[in-house]
């Protein structure tokens, strides 16, 4: 007992006193761990939250009461990156883009996903036959997810797609200043004239603008595109300015590409460690959702969510003053022993068997796609891409670890492997449950995608009342709309 007292009380207080004497100030030491406290970034107050109970109360707030944090908005604006979700007219934008994510529209995108994935797998087959079975899986996935995102966002294909992706990747490089990206992108730069990061924003904007103008012309002629831009143009009926449309396209691309690519990347790693799950998924595609949930629990693409109080908000009898930022620590909640139990650090997709929240003691403790009215609008699209990609991969290949892998997840904007993800890919010896054809090709031609879990309307606020994320639907039908 005295040892515990020393470790939990005496030592931290001593350390804190010493730090304060040396001018380091911050929240006071606390035992047990505080899950809600205030800290400052310069003159900006932040309420740190890793308590789902507290979050449940915040979630009741409507969209106008809780916006995105303005200080982060300023930083992103400076980076010519997405603006969606920050401005005062978020409601109008969200309404306008919602139909683009309808089940019918998503179904029209399945072909594009199948095509890009099949191209990747054909490349793999050639490389394996040439005697080199080791792939840097993160790079493979970033390239393919980027291609899928360019196609599904604004229908960019062929030569245009290649040039567009080069520019966008170069812009990502300029944004993230990460040596890892520099490495991947170098390959694209070698074969084309390098772009100056400063000119990139403008170059991408003008490329997008030309795509948008072309698409507006073809829309008049009755051309029907099933990508996100196509649906948006049909819905907005000239209401959006050219700048807004360009911003929207950038949002579609950036919001979808990193997040999905990382979910896929970490899944590859975990499936290589747990080959049993590769077999399970070959037999039972339904379990793909469990695996994706579990991957996003362990390695959430978005490590945190942020909000800003737009008026005084009452939470459990306490008031969060107007203007206060709220920093929600998603990764802390996803790894909280009190919420998940002793096996919280283990890869156990079966915890999602029959439970949308994986047995989490509080459903707000599992929020890979955010929460409330601002929850990720592309989550069903991500699920679709995930399922298509893995069903195609596993019907042809087996994945195993390369001894070169060094496990060191790194927080560079999102959570990514610190030192590549080298994996060995071999032709699958398993008997495919889909002899002669890929499962998703069948899905593509026959029926509406059952797993997408939408309600029936086109404008569907999500996550209201019922709490956090509802992968298969029940909470997705309209409730108290805060749109
Ligand atoms: C595994 C894949 C994905 C993950 C983990 C993910 C996660 C997230 C998260 C955490 C947010 C913030 C939600 C909040 O603040 O409460 C978000 C917002 C958003 N996501 Fe995703 N996302 C994924 C895929 C996609 C895809 C494929 C798209 C499609 C283009 C997309 C489009 C968006 C948009 C437009 C927003 C802003 C929504 C708003 O502010 O109203 N996401 N996403």
What share of residues in the chain are helix, strand, coil (percent, to 5)?
55, 10, 35
Query: Residue 364, Cβ neighbours under 10 Å: how many?
Result: 25
Atom of ligand 1 nearest to the CA of 85: 40
Residue-wise pLDDT for 128-173, tens only, equals: 999 999 999 998 998 899 889 888 998 876 566 666 666 666 665 5
**Helix 103-129 to helix 379-396 angle, to the nearest 10 degrees?**
30
Nearest CA to ligand 1 atom 4: 259
What is the whole-number distance in angstroms between the Cα of residue 368 and the centre of ligand 1?
A: 9
pLDDT, average across residues 331-354: 96
Task: Please tell me the distance from the alpha carbon of residue 212 to that of residue 232, in angstroms, as a whole number.
Answer: 11
Q: Specify the pLDDT at position 120.
A: 95
Residue-wise pLDDT for 232-259, tens only, equals: 998 888 888 888 898 888 888 888 888 9
Atom of ligand 1 nearest to the CA of 381: 27
Task: Please tell me the distance from the alpha carbon of residue 267 to that of residue 386, in angstroms, as a whole number.
Answer: 10
Atom of ligand 1 nearest to the CA of 374: 41
Residue 32 falls in which region: left (phi positive, over 0), alpha (psi -120 to 50) or beta:
beta
Q: Please state which of the ranges 88-102, 354-368, 427-441 shows the lowest mean pLDDT.
A: 427-441
Ligand 1: which of 141, 369, 386, 388 to mutate, most ligand atoms within 8 Å of CB? 369
- Whether the per-residue pLDDT at 280 is higher than 70: the answer is yes
Return the SS3 of 327: strand
Query: Residue 480, Cβ neighbours under 10 Å: how many?
Result: 10
Give how far Cα 38 sits from Cα of 35, 67, 303, Å: 10, 18, 19
Nearest CA to ligand 1 atom 1: 260
pLDDT, average across residues 67-78: 65
What is the whole-number distance in angstroms between the Cα of residue 276 and the centre of ligand 1?
A: 30
| Residues contacting ligand 1 via CB (< 6 Å) | 84-85, 94, 251-252, 255-256, 259-260, 263, 296, 301-302, 305, 368-371, 374-379, 381-382
Nearest CA to ligand 1 atom 21: 376
Task: Please tell me the distance from the alpha carbon of residue 69 to that of residue 24, in angstroms, as a whole number.
Answer: 26
Q: What is the ipTM of this complex?
A: 0.99
| DSSP strand pairing (409-412 vs 318-320) | unpaired
Give how far Cα 146 sits from Cα of 98, 189, 252, 451, Å: 22, 16, 11, 23
Return the SS3 of 315: strand
Task: Please tell me the distance from the alpha carbon of residue 469 to that of residue 476, in angstroms, as a whole number.
Answer: 9
Task: Please tell me the distance from the alpha carbon of residue 419 to that of residue 84, in angstroms, as a whole number.
Answer: 32
For a pLDDT cut of 90, what percent of the chain falls above it?
A: 43
- Whether the per-residue pLDDT at 62 is higher than 70: the answer is no
What is the whole-number distance in angstroms between the Cα of residue 375 and the centre of ligand 1?
A: 7
- Whether the per-residue pLDDT at 431 is higher than 50: the answer is no
Atom of ligand 1 nearest to the CA of 302: 10
| 284 within 8 A of 173, measured Cβ to Cβ | no
User: Of residues 91 and 433, which shows the higher confidence score?
Assistant: 91
Distance of CA 396 to the CA centre of its chain: 26
User: Of residues 468 and 184, which shows the higher confidence score?
Assistant: 184
User: Of residues 190 and 401, which shows the higher confidence score?
Assistant: 401
What is the whole-number distance in angstroms between the Cα of residue 376 and the centre of ligand 1?
A: 3
Q: Categorize the per-residue pLDDT at 419 as very low, low, confident or very high, splitting at 50, 70 and 90.
A: confident
């Amino acid at each position: 007992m005295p040892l515990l007292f020393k470790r939990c009380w005496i030592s931290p207080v001593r350390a804190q006193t010493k730090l304060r004497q040396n001018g380091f100030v911050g929240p006071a030491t606390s035992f047990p761990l505080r899950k809600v406290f205030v800290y400052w970034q310069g003159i900006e107050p932040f309420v740190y939250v890793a308590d789902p109970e507290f979050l449940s109360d915040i979630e009741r707030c409507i969209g106008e009461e809780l916006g995105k944090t303005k200080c982060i908005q300023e930083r992103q604006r400076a980076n010519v990156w997405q603006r969606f979700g920050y401005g005062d007219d978020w409601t109008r934008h969200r309404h306008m883009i919602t139909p683009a994510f309808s089940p019918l529209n998503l179904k029209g995108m399945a072909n594009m996903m199948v095509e890009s994935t099949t191209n990747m797998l054909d490349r793999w087959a050639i490389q394996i036959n040439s005697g080199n079975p080791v792939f840097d899986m993160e790079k493979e996935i970033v390239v393919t997810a980027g291609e899928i995102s360019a196609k599904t966002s604004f229908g960019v294909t062929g030569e245009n797609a290649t040039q567009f992706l080069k520019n966008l990747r170069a812009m990502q490089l300029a944004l993230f200043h990460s040596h890892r990206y520099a490495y991947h992108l170098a390959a694209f730069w070698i074969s084309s004239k390098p772009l100056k990061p400063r000119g990139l924003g403008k170059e991408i904007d003008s490329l997008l603008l030309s795509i948008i103008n072309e698409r507006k012309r073809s829309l008049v002629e009755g051309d029907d595109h099933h990508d996100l831009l196509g649906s948006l143009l049909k819905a907005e009926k000239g209401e959006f300015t050219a700048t807004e449309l360009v911003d929207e396209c950038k949002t579609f691309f950036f919001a979808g590409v990193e997040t999905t690519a990382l979910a896929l990347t970490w899944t590859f790693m975990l499936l290589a460690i747990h080959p049993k799950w590769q077999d399970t998924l070959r037999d039972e595609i339904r379990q793909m959702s469990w695996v994706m949930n579990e991957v996003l629990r362990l390695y959430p693409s978005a490590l945190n969510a942020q909000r800003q109080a737009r008026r005084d908000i009452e939470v459990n009898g306490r008031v969060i003053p107007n203007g206060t930022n709220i920093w929600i620590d998603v990764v802390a909640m996803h790894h909280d022993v009190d919420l998940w139990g002793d096996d919280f650090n283990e890869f156990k997709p079966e915890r999602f068997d029959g439970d949308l929240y994986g047995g989490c003691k509080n459903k707000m403790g599992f929020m890979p796609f955010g929460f409330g009215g601002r929850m990720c609008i592309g989550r069903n699209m991500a699920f679709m891409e995930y399922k298509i990609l893995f069903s195609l991969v596993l019907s042809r290949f087996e994945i195993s670890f390369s001894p070169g892998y060094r496990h060191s997840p790194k927080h560079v904007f999102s959570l990514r492997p610190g030192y590549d993800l080298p994996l060995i890919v071999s032709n699958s010896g398993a008997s495919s449950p889909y002899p002669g054809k890929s499962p998703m090709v069948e899905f593509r031609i026959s029926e509406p995608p059952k797993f997408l879990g939408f309600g029936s309307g086109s404008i569907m606020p999500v996550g209201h009342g019922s709490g956090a994320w509802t992968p298969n639907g029940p909470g997705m039908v309209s409730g108290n709309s805060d749109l």
